[in-house]
Amino acid sequence: MTPPAPDAPARAGAREWGALVVLMLPVLLISVDNTVLHFALPQISLELRPTGRQLLWMVDAYPLVLAGLLVPMGALGDRVGRRRLLLVGSTGFAAVSALAAFAPSGPALVAARAVLGVFGAMLMPATLSLIRNLFRDTVQRRTAIAVWATGFSAGGVLGPVVGGVLLEHFRWGSVFLLAVPVLVPLLVLGPVLVPESRDPRPGPVDLVSAALVLAAMLGAVWALKSTGAAGASPAAAAAGAAALLAGTAFVHRQLRRPVPMLDVRLFRRRVFTGGLVNNLVASTVFIGFLFFVSQHLQLVEGLPPLRAGLALVPGAAATILSGLVAVRVARRVPPAVVVPAGLAVMTAGFLMVALGDLSDGTVLVAALVVTGIGSGAAQTLAGDLVLAEVEPERAGAASAISETAYELGAALGVAVLGTAVTAGYARAFAPPPGLSPEQAAVAAETLGGAVGVAGDLDAATAGQLLASAVGAFETGVHASAAIGAGLLAATAVLVRLLLRRQPAAR
Q: Report phi then psi at 2, rounded to 5.
A: -75, 125
Task: For residue 226, give Cα distances in angstroms to 57, 220, 480.
Answer: 11, 10, 16
Please answer whether residues 163 and 307 qualify as being in contact, where contact means their C-beta atoms are separated by less than 8 angstroms.
Answer: no
**Predicted structure pTM score:** 0.72
How many other CB atoms are found less than 10 A from the CB of residue 407? 28
Torsion sign, CA atoms 47, 48, 49, 51:
negative
State the Cα angle at 483 between 467 and 148, rounded to 5°. Answer: 105
pLDDT of residue 295: 79
Answer for the pair 318, 373: CB distance below 8 angstroms, yes or no.
yes
- Chain centroid to Cα 337, Å, comes to 24
- Are the beta carbons of 53 and 222 closer than 8 angstroms? no
Amino acid at 207: L
- What pLDDT is attached to residue 34? 65
pLDDT value of residue 170: 84
In terms of Cα–Cα distance, which of 336, 377, 384 is closest to 140? Answer: 384
What is the pLDDT, as a whole number, of residue 351? 94
- At 203 the pLDDT is 62
Interval 418-471: pLDDT, tens: 778 888 888 888 888 888 888 888 788 778 778 878 887 888 888 888 889 888
Give the model's pLDDT for residue 392.
62
> How much is the pLDDT for 157?
62
DSSP 8-state class, residue 5 = P
pLDDT at 228: 66
The residues, any chain, with a CB within 8 Å of residue 232's CB and separated by 6 or more, are none
| Secondary structure of 88-151 as H, E, C letters | HHHHHHHHHHHHHCCCCCHHHHHHHHHHHHHHHHHHHHHHHHHHHHHCCCHHHHHHHHHHHHHH
pLDDT per residue, tens digit, the chain (506 aa), is 434 444 445 676 777 888 888 888 887 787 777 667 767 777 787 778 777 677 777 877 887 787 778 777 877 877 788 888 888 888 898 888 888 888 888 888 888 888 988 888 888 777 777 887 787 777 787 778 777 766 766 676 667 677 778 888 888 888 888 888 888 888 888 888 888 877 666 666 678 888 888 888 888 877 877 776 666 788 888 988 998 999 899 889 988 888 777 777 878 888 888 888 988 898 888 878 877 887 788 888 888 877 877 887 788 788 878 888 887 887 788 888 889 999 999 999 999 999 988 877 788 889 989 998 998 888 877 777 777 776 666 665 666 677 777 777 777 777 788 778 888 888 888 888 888 888 888 788 778 778 878 887 888 888 888 889 888 888 888 989 999 999 999 999 999 998 887 665 54
Q: Which residues contact 8 (CB under 8 A, 6 or more apart)?
A: none
